[in-house]
Amino acid sequence: MDLDAYRIASEPYYRGIGAEVGQFGAAYAARLPVMLKGPTGCGKTRFIEHMAWKLGRPLVTVSCHEDMTASDLVGRLLLDPSGTVWSDGPLTLAVRYGAICYLDEIVEARQDTTVVIHALTDDRRVLPLEKKGELVQAHPDFQLVISYNPGYQSVLKDLKESTKQRFCALDFGYPDPSVETEIVASEAGIDLPLAHQLVQIARRSRNLRGQGLNEGASTRMLIHAGALIREGLALPEACQLALILPITDDPDMRDALANAVAACA
């Protein structure tokens, strides 16, 4: 079985903000597992897509959630008319056929789930399928990548120390205003001065991080706002739709943000 469905056909837009492309390339060459850290919407997923395209590997993405069990990752026994059959989970697929497996927001998954990756992320590079009684040796091209948002996790949800220490890490932040302006302009298809205004607005919202907002407006939100403006909405309206209303339900914060938008425009 090949993983053609998981291959990325055309180059995803990615504007490098530092040396991360080269660094990731080195980690892949050594087949080291990588952890991408950073706030939501700053480009972690886009980065890994770009790297998978660049390295020519299929990319299996799993969005982790609270109810995820180990069998959601490795696979499970299913029933068919003659009895039970084994069905590989996404992680097993990637391990067998040599893809990059990207576990998005890994801490959302229950802690007992994440230990299945332990044997894969040290020099053994194996995945034991206990239920099936099989030990899958990882394909030489296989690499495990996880993402991790240090901002909003609570004390309850943190990676185990034994998990953390298996990974190399790349830290992502919001790009510099000039770079972010470029990204927003290119992704939303708007002109640079408008993108600059949006980036200024985002900066105001990021000032409120921890002061009533859990997180400031992400680059992704700016792109959404830009796209709405391109479709004909006015700037304050687009910011209301794409930034303010999604980010908070607190009327005081909404009011403060709306006025900050007005101040920037």
Residue ranges in contact with another protein by CB under 8 A = 67, 69-72, 76-77, 79, 81, 83-84, 131, 150-151, 154-156, 171, 200, 204-205, 207-212, 214, 251-253, 255-257, 259-265
CA distance 26 to 49: 16
CB of 71 to another protein, least distance (A): 5
Q: Is 138:74 a contact under the CB 8 Å cutoff?
A: no
CB of 233 to another protein, least distance (A): 17
β-bridge pairing 126-129 and 134-137 = antiparallel
Of 48 and 260, nearer to another protein (C-beta) is: 260
CA distance 53 to 10: 7
Of 50 and 196, nearer to another protein (C-beta) is: 196
CA distance 176 to 220: 15
CB of 72 to another protein, least distance (A): 8
Of 122 and 130, nearer to another protein (C-beta) is: 130
CA distance 62 to 51: 17
The DSSP H or E segment spanning 179 is helix 177-188
* Residue in 254, 251, 252, 244 with CA at minimum distance from that of residue 222: 244
CB of 213 to another protein, least distance (A): 8
Sign of the CA dihedral running 188, 194, 196, 197 = negative
N-term to C-term CA, the chain: 54
**218-195-187 Cα angle (round to 5):** 70
CB of 166 to another protein, least distance (A): 21
Of 70 and 94, nearer to another protein (C-beta) is: 70
Of 73 and 99, nearer to another protein (C-beta) is: 73
Of 11 and 191, nearer to another protein (C-beta) is: 191
Pull the structure tokens for residue 131.
Answer: 């239920």
CB of 207 to another protein, least distance (A): 4
Of 40 and 186, nearer to another protein (C-beta) is: 40
Q: Which amino acid is at 204?
A: R
CB of 31 to another protein, least distance (A): 27
